[in-house]
Amino acid sequence: MRSAQRTRLVLVRHGQTDHNREGRLQGQIDIPLNDRGITQAETLARSIAASPPDLIVSSPLERARDTAGVVARACGLEVDLDEAFLERGFGRWEGLRGEEIHSRWPKEHADWRAHRPIRGLDIEDRPEVGERVAAGCRRLVEENPGRTVMVVAHGAAITLGITALLGLDTNGFRGLAGLENCHRSVLEPVHAEPAEGLMRLLSHNLPPDFT
């Protein structure tokens, strides 16, 4: 997972929850892992322990925190919590299925599907989330040169964070598929000048059992 003296960033999505299984939008609701999610985290932990990171940082939400905890125990590490890696806030839509959102807010749902801003529902804007996550990642990378940093977070937060780290438009770019549960992506800093905090994507959506 890492080469000597190279700084690596590993972004991991948490294990499955019942809201994931039921197709509900979680956002910042604090939902625990279900049995499948725990099994996914255990599989991930065995893979990661073969080449462990130097530190593990997690969103404070339970589903991410518990996924990180399973991995950390396998690696003999502790978990640091950081609110920079919270999931995107979906306001009044949290806990609802897509068809419920479409039925009650058809115009806003269309805007969401088209990556346009949504007003009046307390939904966090895509660029705001992307920069929040990217700023947290840049800080960790800057503080840990030559080390591998693992961040356990959430689907939308990771997708938008990676998009921002690659220097792409978080509103317009649609070419990055979201991570599946307990899948991960690996990035490293761009060292060319001026890099301006940009990173390159080395691998994306690696499954829990990938070593």
Which pair of structure tokens corresponds to residue 42? 């255990």
Q: What own/partner pairs with CB < 8 Å and gap ≥ 24 does 189-195 have?
A: 189/7, 189/141
φ/ψ of 190, rounded to 5, equals -85, 125
* 17 assigned ligand-binding residue: yes
* 15 assigned ligand-binding residue: yes
* 24 assigned ligand-binding residue: no
* 16 assigned ligand-binding residue: yes
Q: Which of 14, 109, 154, 183 is catalytic?
A: 14
Beta strands 184-189 and 199-206, pairing class: antiparallel
Determine contact, residues 56/72, Cβ cutoff 8 Å: yes
Q: Cβ atoms within 10 A of the Cβ of 158, count?
A: 27
Which pair of structure tokens corresponds to residue 90? 């979906």
* 171 assigned ligand-binding residue: no
* 18 assigned ligand-binding residue: yes
Catalytic, 109? Answer no
DSSP string, 159-193: HHHHHHHTT--TTT---SPPPPTT-EEEEEE--SS
* 102 assigned ligand-binding residue: no
* 54 assigned ligand-binding residue: no
Catalytic, 14? Answer yes
* 88 assigned ligand-binding residue: no
Q: Which of 87, 94, 108, 124 is catalytic?
A: 87
How far apart, in whole angstroms, are the C-alpha atoms of residue 78 and residue 132?
A: 23
Annotated binding site: 13-20, 63
Active site residues: 14, 87
Annotated binding site for substrate: 13-20, 63
